Amino acid sequence: MIGFSGALVPGPLFAVTVSESMRLRRNVGFHIVLGHIAAEVILVTVIVLGLSYLFNKAEVKIVLGIIGGGFLLFTAYGLLVYPIKHMNQQVQIDPKQNSRNLPTLGFLTSFSNPYFTIWWASVGSLLVTESLTIAGYIGLAIFLISHWCSDLSWYILVSFLSCKSSLRFGSKPVKIAMYICGVLVASLAVYYVIDAILTLTQILA
């Protein structure tokens, strides 16, 4: 249930999954979540090593906010510019387009969201600790597998529905969806950067 509560919250990964599914007109949820899982493996390793406190440091939050916000602004730019460049064209699918870059996109999008690391440093850290206390590494493995199954099932469903919508209704919904996702990602990016700047000013004050 906790795994689904995290997965169901709309964020950068959700927006990227929808936009890429509609643009490529195929189910990309699995490939994007692979990158997301890789990012979580790194954070879980950090937690197990007892270094999760680093993510609670104001300096780390500022760096994550600025760098992550910058990457999300770059992503939003691509989402907003693509429909403009193809304003009077049908969305063309490159047959050479493959899934090699999608896990990387999922990985970078996950880490560009500061609240992703904050969640793992707080709620995630508690769940990892409890899993280890109750059943050791077996308990941790059960927790992670169930959590990742939640992510996979949700994003594969989101990607499937987005892809089917694109195939059924054509290019116009693709462009509209990319605009909406672009605005969402840009809004989150601006929020993260402003939050990081405010935190910095508090430290300097």
DSSP conformation letters of 81-113: HHHHHTTTSPPPPPTT--STTHHHHHHHHHHT-
**Residue 71, amino acid:** F
Domain that holds residue 117: 2-204
Name residues whose C-beta falls within 8 Å of residue 153's C-beta, 6 or more positions apart in sequence.
Answer: none
Rounded to a whole number, what is the largest CA-CA distance in the chain? 59
- CB 185 within 8 Å of CB 113: no
In whole angstroms, what is the distance from residue 42 CA to residue 62 CA? 20
Q: To the nearest 10°, the Cα dihedral for 183, 179, 110, 198?
A: -10
**pLDDT score, position 203:** 83
**pLDDT score, position 2:** 54
- Number of domains making up the chain: 1
- For the segment 115-122, the average pLDDT, to the nearest whole number, is 79
- For the segment 36-45, the average pLDDT, to the nearest whole number, is 94
Which pLDDT tens digit goes with each residue over 6-28?
555 567 888 888 888 887 878 89
**pLDDT score, position 106:** 92
Say whether pLDDT at 145 is over 90.
yes
